[in-house]
Structure 1
Amino acid sequence: MDNALMIGLSRQLTLRREMEITANNIANANTPGFHVESLLMRNEAAETASSQDGPRDLQYVDAWGMGRDFREGSLDFTGRTLDVALEGDGFFQIEGRDGEALYTRDGRFRLDSEGRLTVADGAPVLDDLGAPILIDAAQGEVMITEDGALVQNNAEVARLAVYRFEDRSLLEKSGNGRYAAGEAQADIAADAVIRQGYVEASNVQPILELTRMIETMRAYESVSRFLSQGEELSRKAIERLGRA
């Protein structure tokens, strides 16, 4: 395959992936606790196609990972008793479908029919001992303190688990704004502050993402023109050789 074509195709593949990530960011601009993502790329050297002259290696574009901006989004007041938001580094712990611990900053909690504190899709929220939190609604309104204690009738009935990770790059995305710890070590986030009646907004900046999308589209079109011109040059060269 022609060297120019190989380079152009490698760039198109990364641009398509970048477009998908940008579109996902825009789609989640209003998703509480969502962290903006970006594609991490690098140059990768490879040998050229067979040639008599020219450079002996080329630099291709390779997508090697996903970057996430874990900076806090703004805190939006909702006034709902079971809405909570985190100030500082940390994640709430919930139980996944297979019983594994997952981590999220989306604090839109609610009570299910059994009195368990859950997230929107019914996954249980875990306490500081790793057990589901049970609340008797008949005992009155729940107050949630800044350190995560759930209080009813002046008595603590449970305490939210809030964890932090020294190396957040090891977290594995599991969908719905949640992460599995993977090889990352979870520690108690002692300095995190919990705000009752608030939710953390996404940290996506839509204008920046739309600008990035336009730039990506233009870059893709530019590479497409480059490939078309390269194919045209090759066609003309073959025609001339055929007439020689």
Structure 2
Amino acid sequence: MTIPYSISKSALQTHQHKLDHLSHNIANVNTTGFKKKDSNFTELLHNAVTNQDVRLSENAEASLNAGVRMSSSKDSFTQGALSHTGETLHMAVGGNGFFGVRNMDNELLLTRDGAFQINDQGQIVSDRGHSLEMELDIPVEQWDRQSLTISDTGEILTSINGETAVAGTIPLYLPPHSTAIESAGGNTYRVMEGVNLIDSINAPENFGSVMSGYLEESTVDLAQSLTEMMLSQRAYSLNAQVMQSTDEIHSLINQFT
């Protein structure tokens, strides 16, 4: 494959990946606790251009790169805006940390989506049915839901026989580094095999606070995402035109050979 074809092909593939990520971000602009995905590009290997290739002016340095590729695509774990709901079991993390939830396979997943509720089985679950990971001292069915409060350290407080008691604790979790988790879908993250999580019970100084009655909004900036999408669509279209023009030039050359 000639260099012009290769450059256009790499650009088309890269912008297609970026458009896919932007579409995913825009679709989740109203998803609680969603973290946008950022994409970064890098140039491929540069090939030096010499006087044997083209006529160059004195002391001129020229090179031709082999295209572009996506160098990284990762979630941006910045703090999202907080919205007040007034629901006790609606929780947001103010600062560092993730809630732990268990899926149907009892696998521990991490999430910033704190829209929890008590289901018919007396379990605290997310909107997706994942059960909240917590340490219980008093069974949920014995809680006085009217007096239920959650402290900024994750302690669940309820009234038992007229006295305030600690019913349990909601721990927060952190991976040792950002590459220790991967997206598991459904606004959750899977912990890589062999990774030991840090928790707020044993290392509270590493974590933010649990904010009861609030939910964290998506970190997607809709205006910025739409602008980036238009730029990527334009770049994709231009590279498609370059590939078409290259094909027409080669067809013309073949007619004279």
Extract structure 1 runs of 4+ deviating beyond 6 A.
54-57
Residue correspondence of structure 1 range 8-47 to structure 2 within 5 A: 8-45=8-45
1:37 deviates by: 0.5
TM-score, scaled relative to structure 1:
0.88
Q: Once the two structures are superposed, what CA deviation does each residue of 1:203-225 show, in whole Å capped at 9, x if it has no partner? A: 11100000000000000011011
Residue correspondence of structure 1 range 1-244 to structure 2 within 5 A: 1-45=1-45, 58-128=65-135, 134-136=139-141, 139-141=144-146, 142-153=148-159, 154-182=164-192, 184-189=195-200, 190=204, 191-241=207-257
Preserved CA contact (<8 Å) 2:126 2:132? yes
1:98 deviates by: 2.0
Tell me, in whole angstroms, the C-alpha distance in 2 between the residues paired with 1:214 and 1:139: 53
3-state SS of 2:198 partner:
strand
1:81 deviates by: 1.8
Q: Once the two structures are superposed, what CA deviation does each residue of 1:170-195 show, in whole Å capped at 9, x if it has no partner? A: 31100111101115441124232111
Preserved CA contact (<8 Å) 1:42 1:63? yes
Preserved CA contact (<8 Å) 2:155 2:169? yes
Quick one: structure 1 residues 27 and 146, their matched pair in 2 at CA, closer, same or farther if it must change by over 3 Å? same
Quick one: structure 1 residues 185 and 46, their matched pair in 2 at CA, closer, same or farther if it must change by over 3 Å? farther
Quick one: structure 1 residues 178 and 133, their matched pair in 2 at CA, closer, same or farther if it must change by over 3 Å? farther
Preserved CA contact (<8 Å) 1:162 1:188? yes
3-state SS of 1:139 partner:
coil
Q: Once the two structures are superposed, what CA deviation does each residue of 1:81-135 show, in whole Å capped at 9, x if it has no partner? A: 210111011000011222221000100001111111111121110115xx79952
TM-score, scaled relative to structure 2:
0.84
3-state SS of 1:136 partner:
helix
Q: Quick one: which amino acid aligns to residue 243 of structure 2?
A: L
1:151 deviates by: 1.0
> Number of residue pairs matched?
236
